[in-house]
Amino acid sequence: MNQEKLVLYLEKKFNSDVKINEFKQIGKGVYGTAYLIDFNTEKENKRLVLKTMALGGFGHDNPSDIAGILLWENKSYNKLPKHIKSFDVLGMDKDENITSMGDAEEFYILMEEAKGTEYSEDITRILKNGITEQDKERTKALANYLVKIHSKKKDSPVLYRRRARDLVSHGEYIMGVLDSYPEKSFTSQEEVTNLVKEALNFWPIMKSKTHRLCQVHGDFHPFNILFTDKTDFILLDRSRGEYGEAADDVSALAINYIFWSLIKYGCFKAEFKELFDLFFKTYLENTKDEEILEIIQPFFTFRAIVIANPIFYPDSWFKEQGFKGNPKKLRRTLFNFAHTILKEKDFKLNKIGKYLECRSQYG
């Protein structure tokens, strides 16, 4: 991005002369790239983040797809408690002018810089050293946060049915993530087709539960949670809808306790099982939402195929965590877990270990 033109935009946005002290890339992933802007106005120093999304895959195939997502994020980030705030959406034309959306070819979102420690770092530490009392308190804090935001309901049967439909067919959900798998991987087209069919069986079940529509984060996983104090935290990257199904958020975090237990032990036990049980106990005691266990299966499936995807978690990542086994075998376990739970009418929290032990016709 042309920094001179960025200065002109910032001066207009903040109604002040601006001097940029630093502009650098701070992150790049499958979905896009983020840049830090450190600058001075006439009154103060500011540090903001400029993020864009990559074209191609996951439903991000046209510039208009990205524009729509960023426009939604710009509004919705500021409505969710504890989420970082957004300032604006920028459009950039072919000459790198920051311009109106109609002339833009690239799109960016301008938001607060997030300061804190990723919850994923806690998980990594637990992997090596076990859990502390603070880890338990943080798990309860995360569960109670979901209790709070999920208590905000919305009466919109049409929207809930859309969210049920999107779970299978959306570019960022089950079919889109499966389409991103490398051609040569541990799975096959036959298997992923059958997995989609199994998940689709929950579509009519969910359609009958429109009363469940509630406020959600939409991507409540350890890399989007930054702790700033003992149990206080901020959130990043709210995704896919202001309202949705509570099971989406619950499964997004809970699958990680299963995943990291598999990395450490090859099964579900010990400290990660303790945190999983504590998370669900806290959530269910405070929401009384036993119904969630009737429809959480396809959401756990979605999360399982995300963490099993070599694009998001390549073999090299497993090696960095000290995993001694074969990543393909662990991915197979996650897929078999998905096949197994999609056949269950009710998800049994005390059967996680058995779900993981089940084999499928694919291995």
Say whether pLDDT at 362 is over 90: no
Cβ atoms of 68 and 107 within 8 Å: the answer is no
Closest Cα to residue 327, out of 311, 314, 340, 337?
314
Can you tell me the distance from the alpha carbon of 68 to that of 62, in angstroms, rounded to the nearest whole number?
Answer: 10
- pLDDT for 11-43, tens place per residue? 999 999 999 999 999 998 888 999 999 999 999
Q: What gap in Å lies between CA 338 and CA 69, rounded to an integer?
A: 28
The more confident residue out of 183 and 253 is 253
Q: Do the domains at 3-112 and 117-357 have one common CATH topology?
A: no
Residue 1 pLDDT: 81
Give me the CATH topology for the region 3-112: Phosphorylase Kinase; domain 1 (3.30.200)
pLDDT at 101 over 90: no
Q: What percent of the chain has pLDDT over 70?
A: 100
Mean pLDDT of the 337-361 span: 95
What does pLDDT average to over the chain? 95
What confidence score (pLDDT) does residue 102 get?
A: 87
Greatest mean pLDDT among 21-30, 58-67, 332-341: 332-341
pLDDT digits (tens, 9 = 90+) for 141-178: 999 999 999 999 999 999 999 999 999 999 999 999 99
Q: 117-357, which class in CATH?
A: alpha beta
Closest CA to 356 of 304, 310, 313: 304
Sorted by where each begins, the domain ranges of the chain are: 3-112, 117-357
Non-local (6+) Cβ contacts of 50 within 8 A are 1, 34, 35, 36, 37, 90, 108, 109, 110
